[in-house]
Structure 1
Amino acid sequence: MHLLFATSIVPDGALASGYEIANAAIIAALRRAGARVTVIGFTWPGKAAADPENTVVLGAIDVRTESASALQKLAWVGKATLSGLTFASVKLRAVSEDEVQAALEQAGPFDGYVLNSVQFAGAFEKLFEDKPSIFVAHNVEHLSARENAAAAGGIFQRLLFRREARLLKIVEERLCRRARFVFTLAEEDRAALGVASDDRSAVLPLVTGATAPARNGPRRIDCDAALIGTWTWQPNRIGLDWFLGRVVPHLRPGFRIRIAGHMPSGVTSAHPGVEFVGRVPDARAFVRGAAVIPLISTAGSGVQLKTIETFELGLPSVATSRSLRGIDHRPDNCIVTDDPAGFARALEAAAADIKDVDGGAFHRQQVKALDVAIRHGLEKLGAVRQEVLA
């Protein structure tokens, strides 16, 4: 079975974000199940596809809103308004439908499509209606946009997110209706998308790599707690604001917290132990240097890849309940609480008595369940293909 994996950004091997980690895990699982997978999409500027022989690159593009100029943002808003597309999808209209169609014809024929998230599929939706498809919903995007609107500081941003939420709901419903099968990354997302039946959807448990991270002897502890993330992504920013504003004030002054990643303007903390360290050369080494990992998601949908990585590394953690969405197996050294004061107390207790576990068992469980779910979806796609051929 030859599948086209249609995605906004093709894998470049860097695995710099949760989205890219998830894509790599899903593509690898499809290939383990016996499918031939060709990926189509864009690269980041200056990056090359990790698997060029099985990748169709439509060009290089930077879709990050925070790094775009004011003129570029206005151009995207205007183009979205005129086209009726979402803001997220219109960024990918750097090439025409005819150019994408020509690329598909050159790379095909295909037995079916894997539409990876709503952005690329929404930008070129009509091109993927001629064959059966699987839709991969990384998040329930319209719910995330609704939460972003509620948290937005300015009226323009609030109106933009509300427009996104309205249009995304329509597109997500259409993609789910047309798809032969839907993969989500969290159990609750199946119901939120209206595809809770086992005949219509399955959850994909994810991993951050083909093998479990190696444990290289005892850890050197550099701080009490460490966080790393893409804080310019609004759901992550909402969690960070909750942590800094409601949890950190309950921590003793000597509690040391290091926060890595690009920080949006306006993020500060009066706590003397909080240090913003920016970009770090090795994210895994950075979190391994902390006594405990705070998992602080309070918004969004889908799965938290930072939670999965923490569990694979066997590190102690304190987590909100939203941080555990999409996770069936919680290690013994993970404490769950949504109470800010209780969260702070749990962090201090975990940092005072560090308890690492073997993350290999968690990784093996995730891979096994991922492969089962992928095979189930491919069986559904194969069944509809046989119906078409008959």
Structure 2
Amino acid sequence: MISTVEFLGMRFLDANPSGVRAALCDALKGPFGYVVTPNVDHVVSYHRGDAGLRAAYDGAAFQICDSRVLAKLASLNGLHLTPFPGSDLTRELLEQPLHSGLRMAVIGPDEAAFRDLRARFPSVDLVHIPCAAQLGVGTGEWWQTVGRAAAADWDLLFVCLSFPKQELFARDLGRTGRERGLALCVGASIDFLTDRQTRAPKAMQRANLEWLHRLASDPRRMARRYLQRGPAIFGLAARAWRAERGRDRTSERRRVLVLSTVLPHGRSTGGEIASMNFIEGLRATGCEVDILAYRREGDDREPPPGFLSPRDWPIESAGRPVRAAAWMGRAYLARRPYSVQKYVGARIKRLLRLRLRTAPPDLVVVDHAQASWLLPLVPAHLPVVLIAHNVEHQLYGSHGDAVGGAGKASPKQRLKGAVYKREGERLSAVERAAALRAQEIWTLTDDDAAAFAQMAPGRVVRSFGVPGQAFRGACEPLPEPSVDVGLLGSWTWDVNRAGLDWFLKSVAPRLPKDLRITVAGRSDHAPGTVRSNVRFAGFVPDAGAFLRSCRVVAIPSTVGSGIQIKTIETLGLGVPTVATTVALRGIDDPPLDLRVANGATDMVSAILEALDAPRPDGRDGAVWRQAREHAFRTDLAHALDALFEEALLERPSHVASEAAGEKGSILEGPHVERSEDGTSTPTEQARLRMGAMRR
């Protein structure tokens, strides 16, 4: 029997060896795919926030349980999970290939180990794909090796690299366009088969003590895995048990529908990263979450399960003057903001209607005010949460004043300023309407929460400290720097570009000419452009690796609302940082190696001071980020429980009054909460609620 078991965020293939073989045979008939074999360490790492690892695991064709401990924990949660360790799976497939003529390849072992493997299995059609002993993820050598593996002739590939390199390697194989084949991430399996490592005795395996054997065999390497990281699995299992008991009490799983502008799974912008924080947090509480938005044009990656899009859509206006002019014209005719009109379309409306009819949600989350144009399609009885990444109308209005309000502004600048101010005015009405329709507004900073409390009196407003994404190697000591001063951002957006322009004009010229200053991220400058002592690197595929390579990171934001994800992620890496007050909005508890500088003179001094200071190891930042993520997940779970509890209490009376034609339900008007002294000032309400959450 073959089934899929959802446990600790994984979709385990639950089958006996015959069932696993049958599933792999079927997979070989289809397009390229890969198999991961999660053990306790893999599951803990998956939950620690490494976006690349999560994406690699979520994209696997099968997840086969490699651990008897995981199987035992699943049984305590009432689930049946059949363990099939990767070493056993590898031996099984080599001893009895899935079919005659199956071509198999191995990557990871050296030439001597491969010769021993060939000697043990002489009848198997095996080829060896060589790779460096210390293969670095994302390096030139990495991509060359991926290319060799993609071009080789095989049906089944055993990927025997260290965790998580093998999972990332299998994922990148799929990105090469390879059409057929199945890659199996099986770790040290070949080492066991060639006697380079010794497996635990059968008795220890049956007693779930194979980990103890490996710890005793290699205590220096395995202590961190089994004694430091490993015990976290019991907390994850306990959380899953509590979530399951909660689902039993509510008799069904909570279903949440998120309406957004762009599918955020690619995490290509700070807004998408923040959206994924909320989506993953909702799923961590046990919710079934679907996301409805456009897929970014040019993104060929298949969206993960639950990410729904009616079509690909051009998101950026830059480089599309005709389309931008058409959007602007429609925005003026419809009296809408430009940043809303560009997402209006019939296909997404049809998809939303279909989804509401076929899979009615318990909660609708509007991610960004720009997606709130879809709210009239949401039935009035459904509770709504608005996630406000910024106070959009303030952001656009203030930028319009900055661009067109200067005394020496050119006619072009004044026109641009007028367009931004018009956008701010229109967005003010959009945000107010969305806030009044919502039962709760979730923001990213206390200041934004106070602004929305004034905008929609009586609504519950909460502020969440989003953690951003965790990068590979974030818990390891910082490497030797290759960049003196680094800047990272999406510089094609006017608001971000304003800070970069100020840095290039007022700060960079006053820094020593021999400093290596690198600007990473898409900008108006072609990659490789050099201006004086500043080099423009363009898009960097691994933002974490770039930030960790900097001696100092500068964040020169001059305009903004909400919170800057790049600031959080830089601080979470423990890299010495110099930032403006605007860049630090919403962050009131930063780690130690941070210097605040607003003027050009102060920023130059702070950068030079940071360059002269001893390089930290980065661990302070890693601890800070982990604490922030834990607080975020906890606050989100409490908010969700309160929201559903209120909806459960209010819905019967609301339905009754609605049937009688009465007014005044929670969904028809603001639900005013008063403080203990009887006051109901919106700003005070927001502050009190947020303070209560922190306590």
TM, length-normalised to structure 1: 0.91
Bigger mean CA offset, 273-282 vs 149-158: 149-158
Give 1:210 shift. Answer: 6.2
Residue 625 (structure 2) aligns with: 363
Give 1:328 shift. Answer: 2.8
Q: 1:228 to 1:90 in 2, by over 3 A?
A: same
Residue 127 (structure 1) aligns with: 377
Give 1:98 shift. Answer: 4.8
Match 2:287 to one of 35, 42, 59: 35
CA offsets, 1:110-164, max 9 Å, x none? 112110011111x323113521111100011001111221233533322221111
Paired residues, what number? 384
> Residue 20 in 1 paired to residue 280 in 2?
no
Q: Residue 441 of structure 2 contacts residue 460 of structure 2 at CA under 8 Å; is this kept in 1?
A: yes
Distance 2:349 2:610 in 1: 56
> Residue 64 in 1 paired to residue 319 in 2?
no
Residue 416 (structure 2) aligns with: 157
Distance 2:472 2:572 in 1: 6
Aligned residue type for 1:144: L
Relative contact order: is structure 1 or structure 2 higher (C-alpha 8 Å, sep ≥ 6)? 1
Distance 1:94 1:67 in 2: 21
Query: In structure 1, the residue corresponding to 2:346 is in which secondary structure?
Result: coil
Q: Residue 10 of structure 1 contacts residue 49 of structure 1 at CA under 8 Å; is this kept in 2?
A: no
Bigger mean CA offset, 123-132 vs 29-38: 123-132
Match 1:374 to one of 628, 631, 636: 636
> Residue 11 in 1 paired to residue 260 in 2?
no
Give 1:305 shift. Answer: 0.8
Q: 1:377 to 1:129 in 2, by over 3 A?
A: farther
Larger radius of gyration: 2
Match 2:594 to one of 297, 317, 334: 334
| CA RMSD in angstroms, aligned pairs only | 2.4
Give 1:86 shift. Answer: 1.2
Give 1:281 shift. Answer: 3.1
Distance 2:585 2:575 in 1: 18
Match 1:104 to one of 338, 352, 355: 355
Distance 2:399 2:515 in 1: 31
Residue 445 (structure 2) aligns with: 186
Residue 388 (structure 1) aligns with: 651
Distance 2:533 2:471 in 1: 35
Give 1:348 shift. Answer: 1.0
Give 1:238 shift. Answer: 1.4
Equivalences for residues 203-352 of structure 1 within 5 A:
203-209=463-469, 213-264=473-524, 272-352=532-612
Query: In structure 1, the residue corresponding to 2:366 is in which secondary structure?
Result: strand
Match 2:394 to one of 135, 143, 151: 143
Query: In structure 2, the residue corresponding to 1:154 is in which secondary structure?
Result: helix
Q: Residue 212 of structure 1 contacts residue 312 of structure 1 at CA under 8 Å; is this kept in 2?
A: no
Q: Residue 478 of structure 2 contacts residue 617 of structure 2 at CA under 8 Å; is this kept in 1?
A: no
Unaligned runs of 5+ in 2: 1-253, 404-411, 654-695
Q: Residue 185 of structure 1 contacts residue 205 of structure 1 at CA under 8 Å; is this kept in 2?
A: yes
Distance 1:389 1:246 in 2: 62
Residue 113 (structure 1) aligns with: 364
CA offsets, 1:226-281, max 9 Å, x none? 01111111221111122122222332222221001222369xx9973211122223
Query: In structure 1, the residue corresponding to 2:417 is in which secondary structure?
Result: helix
Distance 2:422 2:608 in 1: 42
Q: 1:98 to 1:62 in 2, by over 3 A?
A: closer
Distance 1:344 1:366 in 2: 30
Bigger mean CA offset, 269-278 vs 202-211: 269-278
Give 1:93 shift. Answer: 1.6
Distance 1:48 1:270 in 2: 32
> Residue 2 in 1 paired to residue 261 in 2?
no
Residue 664 (structure 2) aligns with: none
Q: Residue 260 of structure 2 contacts residue 366 of structure 2 at CA under 8 Å; is this kept in 1?
A: yes
Distance 1:285 1:182 in 2: 35
Distance 1:145 1:251 in 2: 32
Distance 1:318 1:158 in 2: 29
TM, length-normalised to structure 2: 0.52
Q: Residue 49 of structure 1 contacts residue 57 of structure 1 at CA under 8 Å; is this kept in 2?
A: no
